[in-house]
Amino acid sequence: MSFYNASDYLNAPPKPVIRDVTPFGPLIFKTHYNGWNWAKMEKVCEDFMNETEHKIHLETGDAGSTAPNYKKQPHIMPEFKDFYKFIEPIVSDILFSKLEAYTEHGYYVSNSWINYHGFGGQTETHHHGNAVLSIAAYINFPKDGGYIQFRDPLEYQKGFLLKNYDDEMFGWKTIEATTGDVILFPGWLRHRTQSNNNKNEKRWVLTTNYMSTYQPLKK
């Protein structure tokens, strides 16, 4: 039996061209919304937070959320109407063109909320259950505000191949963002946030879940 090692690879003659022919589509998408006016939205967010703030168990440090709150949610508030009008065709494109969701079922916004992270605030590892698509829209992203990170869904397979598997180095991938960026991803994909390292400014995020009815559309 012959064994293959790294030195064989490094000392081998020039190799033929190798193309990535993976037939599976991407999972995480980003777009940009130019409609936020933070001078106006800051008061909207602060007032909303003062009315409904909750400390979610996933949040550490200076952080707060308007969830769970089922009587007042951003997607049914007039202040966020323009954003949801903007994002609706993008959601449709991702669901049906990119993720190839079943076209005979209905899809709808199941819930939405706002959260903030002050200095040192972050959100721990979690997922959004059976949400077919989750959206993180950055209403205000300060300098050094901390990014969202996603868990590699192939973590177990990749970890098996690496002797010195470093969970933090290989298991988490960071998506950079700025104010106005919108990140969309399947709800089952585990994620977390980095800490906000800005001592003077909060990171504000609008989060939305889309669910499937799992029922045929009425003709």
Residue with tokens 């598997």: 165
Alpha-helical segments (H) within 70-161 = 81-93, 155-161
Q: Is 40 domain-assigned?
A: yes
Q: Is 160 domain-assigned?
A: no
* pLDDT tier for residue 25 given thresholds of 50, 70 and 90: confident
At residue 121, the pLDDT reads: 96
At residue 168, the pLDDT reads: 67
Q: Is 102 domain-assigned?
A: yes
Q: Please compute the mean of the pLDDT values over residues 74-91 and round it to a whole number.
A: 96
DSSP-derived letter for residue 24 is -
* Three-class SS of 112-127: EEEEEECCCCEECCEC
At residue 162, the pLDDT reads: 65
Q: Is 205 domain-assigned?
A: yes
For residue 3, is pLDDT > 60? no
Which of 77-91, 92-106, 136-150, 196-210 shows the lowest per-residue confidence on average (mean pLDDT)?
Answer: 92-106
Q: What is the pLDDT of residues 33-71, one digit of tens each?
A: 999 999 999 999 999 998 887 778 899 999 999 987 778
Query: Pairing mode, if any, of strands 148-151 and 133-140?
Result: unpaired
Q: Which residues contact 191 (CB under 8 A, 6 or more apart)?
A: 125, 126, 127, 148, 149, 150, 151, 185
Q: Is 11 domain-assigned?
A: no
Q: What is the pLDDT of residues 158-196, one digit of tens each?
A: 767 666 666 666 789 999 999 999 999 999 999 999 999
Residue with tokens 């690496």: 162
Q: Is 87 domain-assigned?
A: yes
Query: Pairing mode, if any, of strands 122-123 and 105-117?
Result: unpaired
Residue predicted with more confidence, 104 or 32: 32
For residue 189, the SS3 value is coil
Q: What is the pLDDT of residues 122-161, one digit of tens each?
A: 999 999 999 999 999 999 999 999 999 999 888 777 767 6
Residue predicted with more confidence, 2 or 53: 53
For residue 219, is pLDDT > 90? no
Q: Is 94 domain-assigned?
A: yes
Domain containing residue 54: CATH number:
2.60.120.620
Residues across the chain: 219
Q: Is 65 domain-assigned?
A: yes
Count of domains observed in the chain: 1
Q: Is-above-0.95 flag for pTM?
A: no
What is the span of the domain harbouring residue 46? 25-121+132-144+178-185+198-213
